[in-house]
Amino acid sequence: MVTITFLVTLVGTLFLIAGIDVFMYKQSFFISIYKLFAEDQGTNEIYVDSALVVGFILALIVDFRIHKNKRSKES
Amino acid sequence: MSKSLVEKISLWQLAVLIFIFEIGSVAVVGVGNESKQDAWLAVAIATGIGICLISFYMFLLKKLPGKNIFEIFTFCFGKWFGKVISFLYVLYFVYIASRVLRDFGELITTVIFETTPIEVVMITMMMVICYMLYLGLEVFGRTAEVFLPYVFSFILLIGIAILLSGEMEFENLQPVLAEGFGPIMKHIFPKLLTFPFGELVAFLVIIPAVTHFDKAGKVSGFAVLVSGFIIMYQKFIAIVTLGPEQLDRTVFPLLSAAREISLLQFIERVDLVIVFIVMFGIITKVSVFFYAGLKGLEHLVNLPYRYFVFPIAAIICYCSVQISANYAEHIEEGLKFIPFYMHVPFQILLPIAITPLLIWKGKKQQRGTDKHGSV
């Protein structure tokens, strides 16, 4: 559930950011989304990309632990 | 089954959190600059309206004591629609946390760590916030309590030091109300009212966790009043030191004012003190929004909020970089879009919309209780 929540929140927030860009800069929604994922030259976006991957892995670990605890309680 | 722990903070801790939250990013970007030399007056009026706003939020919370805003939504709109509204609030809190974190990152990379990537600054800051929130609301409250004397005394000393440096020109305050109250009122609503006072909507998640809930209204109002005075004081310092024209051009007003300090040709470059105030203010502000978002997720999926701390922190870090390509774009969005299309609906319209429903459903529930009680 934590992983699903992580993904839904991420998608929701990215859609919100893209929506704001559509409103502010009068560009299409798909271009806004593309710009979000395009790696800008000379920036260090790779750091936050890595942080996001770590966040996703942590969400998977938490889910695995919840599942394990549930199974050990049942048995 | 929910495994959430009962966490309580004292009234004093609530007051401290509100105080530091309010002065947080105001110290970075400044408020009411459009009102020029009357900005301090605009802040004074906005503080009065801010007290009314927090009283309104308290009115909502008192209708269902012990319940936070997400539980109130479920009570008013039912399970599913209530969850949809709650999820929108979660997105709002996460997005605003990202914006506040970006403010801080921009300040630090402009003023102190000029060669350090902004991403590294923000990830480091977020790790501190994660640790604090993982330990719980009580630890968060105590941390704010510990740092308050430094924040408060540094802000007061900055003004005194600029005065003693002879950099204040009180003529900068004149003419007072040159164009009347009209332009000031235009700046107050929605910009000044929503930032920073309307952002107190995040406290609708924290106030139910206060030990003496019945006194929380008065304490919150008093904290907003004190923080309003401090923001006025900051504004006053910035106006008399920089003047209205320079104030309008400056990116970080209070920081620029603090750079004017030069005492005995010895005490100089005290802008680091401002960075300290801002740093703690931002930690508090991001934490409050982050905590509010986490409690929303806890309510939505019925799992303890601690499970989400690290994953959602990663999203906040990621979004703080993605929200805009540069600082100019970030500020433009903050002035043209956020106050009108995000702050007003989430801080004012939705809480007003649920009020009649809350009163009606509360009365209905009361009648039901009385009926069962009398049988």
| Interchain pair A48, B122: CB under 8 A | yes
CA-to-CA distance for B185 and B309, rounded, in angstroms? 40
Could you write out the DSSP letters of every residue in A22-40? Answer: HHHH---HHHHHHHHHS--
To probe the interface with A, which of B307, B330, B336, B343 has the most A CB atoms within 10 Å? B307
What's the whole-number average pLDDT of chain A? 90
| Interchain pair B311, A2: CB under 8 A | yes
Query: Considering only the top CATH level, what class is B11-355?
Result: mainly alpha
Q: Provide the number of structural domains found in chain A.
A: 1
Name, in order, each residue with C-beta under 8 angstroms of A16's C-beta and a sequence gap of 6 or more: B91, B95
Q: What pLDDT is attached to residue B374?
A: 59
Q: Does A12 touch chain B (CB under 8 A)?
A: yes
CA-to-CA distance for B22 and B30, rounded, in angstroms? 12
Positive or negative, the CA dihedral B252, B255, B257, B259 is negative
Going from N- to C-terminal start, the domains of chain B cover 11-355
Q: What pLDDT is attached to residue B5?
A: 67
- The predicted-structure confidence for B206-230, as pLDDT tens digits, reads as follows 999 999 888 999 999 999 999 999 9
Per CB-CB distance under 8 Å, the chain B contacts of A6 are 308, 311-312, 315
To probe the interface with A, which of B84, B322, B333, B338 has the most A CB atoms within 10 Å? B322
| Interchain pair B337, A5: CB under 8 A | no
| Positions in chain B whose pLDDT score sits under 70 | 1-5, 373-375
Q: What pLDDT is attached to residue B305?
A: 92
CA-to-CA distance for B203 and B220, rounded, in angstroms? 10
Q: Encoding tokens for residue B207?
A: 């106030």
| Interchain pair A13, B303: CB under 8 A | no
Q: What pLDDT is attached to residue B4?
A: 54
Write the residue in B311, B319, B321 that is nearest to A13 by C-beta.
B319
Q: What pLDDT is attached to residue B353?
A: 92
Per CB-CB distance under 8 Å, the chain A contacts of B321 are 45, 48
- The predicted-structure confidence for B105-127, as pLDDT tens digits, reads as follows 998 898 888 899 999 999 999 99
Domain that holds residue A66: 2-74
* Radius of gyration of the CA atoms of chain B, in A: 21
Per CB-CB distance under 8 Å, the chain A contacts of B87 are 8, 12
pTM exceeds 0.90 for this model = yes
Q: What pLDDT is attached to residue B1?
A: 43
